[in-house]
Amino acid sequence: MDVIESARRRLIFRPNGETDARLALDFLEGLALARQKHMTPCLVAVAHAVNPCLLTLTCDQVPVVRLEGLARRWYGWRLDWRGWRFRTSAAWARLGGAVRREVGRELQRQMALKTLAGPLRERVRRWREMLAATEEEPRVALPYKRALLRAPLAVRLSPAFDAAARKQARSLGLKEGTPIVAIHARERGSNEARGTRDRSAGKRDDSVSDSCIDSYGAAVDHLVAKGFAVVRLGDPQMAPFRRPGVLDLATSAARTPELELYVLLRSRFLVCGESGPLGVSMLTGTPTVVVNATDPIGTFPVRADSAYILKRVIDLSSGQDLGLRGMLTEHYYRNFRNPTRFAYRDNPPEEILEAVKELDRDLETGWTESPGQRAYRALVSSTAEALRDRVRHVANRGPDGGFLGDGRLPRFFAERHF
């Protein structure tokens, strides 16, 4: 997100519009930062946002000023210039770091030679120590500001979009008073999944986060039996999901961005994987239960009304199941989502069902954390702190000022796997 703080207590910001999740999180961060600083948020619209409807949401707690005309162009140009300067500075810093590290390695090799005379050897040693003191890469602003996102903001559709979405919902059989649960499973052929795969040997492949919507079947049947309307979100490239009590909005001709947002805003909770709707749910304030997670640190829930369960990960070199403790290691994150090193096994339907039941019950009765849940939170938090200076992914998605999240591993999952 690009930001300018003006002298008139205005926070001018422009979200990154490349994905739904990034757009939603940047928009939320802009609102939250403006509230934190007691400033007026001024939105510079994104030229090619993947889902412009997200930027039409309104927030009574932090009213947004949407810049238009000359003001939009002027601040857009300033944000472009600021972004270019930041990227250029970061590129030079990376280049300088690479040069220093290479010179340092050469000096280290020279130190190992016995041909260096005493005075020259001492001078090389001092040079090596001076370079070593500057080897650490400069820290950059966290792209995922967990502490800022900790408290939800109450957002809603604009009156015009809300009226249109309500009319669409009624035409599809979604009555006003019917409780809703939204579901989403990212698939190999979906729009969201395209462009995220690097199939080169030894490279990260985010397709390991994909899952099959059919594994949600038992959980869906349970929710329908309890009186929920289950709405499947996604895009038309997904395989149809036909089941009693389910509205497959993903493959419906009636699908619109406004209707999907309306569903999320009305949903009791969202069942999903590591996918775009997870980021959007942070903006809409929808509780979530993430299933088939592969990233125990990056996907750890920020808010107390959310939980996650993780896939089984098999180390291909040994055939051993890493377990939760094995996933919380530098070895795992150095080879994160590398299908030549690890095999990923989806959560079975019965685990997804138990996770959904537990979240539904806890939303109804309140949270009571078990010793196993507390122990897991302590381990994931301490591991994230230990790895954030050594693994770039953890630095980007890990703790923010020591805060990782208020969410949890479900009790049954902690007892069974931890």
**311-348, pLDDT tens digit by residue?**
999 999 999 999 999 999 999 999 999 999 999 999 99
Read off the DSSP letter of residue 82: H
- 328 in a structural domain: yes
The reported pLDDT for the residue numbered 90 is 65
Give how far Cα 53 sits from Cα of 162, 211, 256, 296, Å.
11, 27, 10, 31
What span, in angstroms and rounded, lies between the C-alpha atoms of 346 and 208? 9
Global confidence as pTM: 0.85
Residue 192: pLDDT band (50, 70, 90) is low
- 176 in a structural domain: yes
The reported pLDDT for the residue numbered 194 is 47
- 56 in a structural domain: no
- 1 in a structural domain: no
Strand-by-strand arrangement of the 180-183 sheet: 246-248, 229-232, 180-183, 267-272, 288-293, 307-310
Parent domain of 105:
71-132
Between these two residues, 100 and 365, which has the higher pLDDT value?
A: 365
- 128 in a structural domain: yes
- 358 in a structural domain: yes
Residues 196 and 249 in one domain: yes
Residues 167 and 235 in one domain: yes
Residues 96 and 240 in one domain: no
Total domains in the chain come to: 2
User: Rounded to 5 degrees, what are φ and ψ at 5?
Assistant: -105, 115
The two structure tokens encoding residue 411: 């009790």
Residues 115 and 235 in one domain: no
Q: What is the CATH number of the domain that holds 310?
A: 3.40.50.2000
Q: Which residue has the tokens 């109450």?
A: 154
pLDDT by residue (tens digit) across 258-311?
999 999 999 999 999 999 999 999 999 999 999 999 999 999 999 999 999 999
150 three-state secondary structure:
coil
- Above 60 in pLDDT, residue 199? no
- 246 in a structural domain: yes
- 288 in a structural domain: yes
8 Å CB contact between 168 and 254: yes
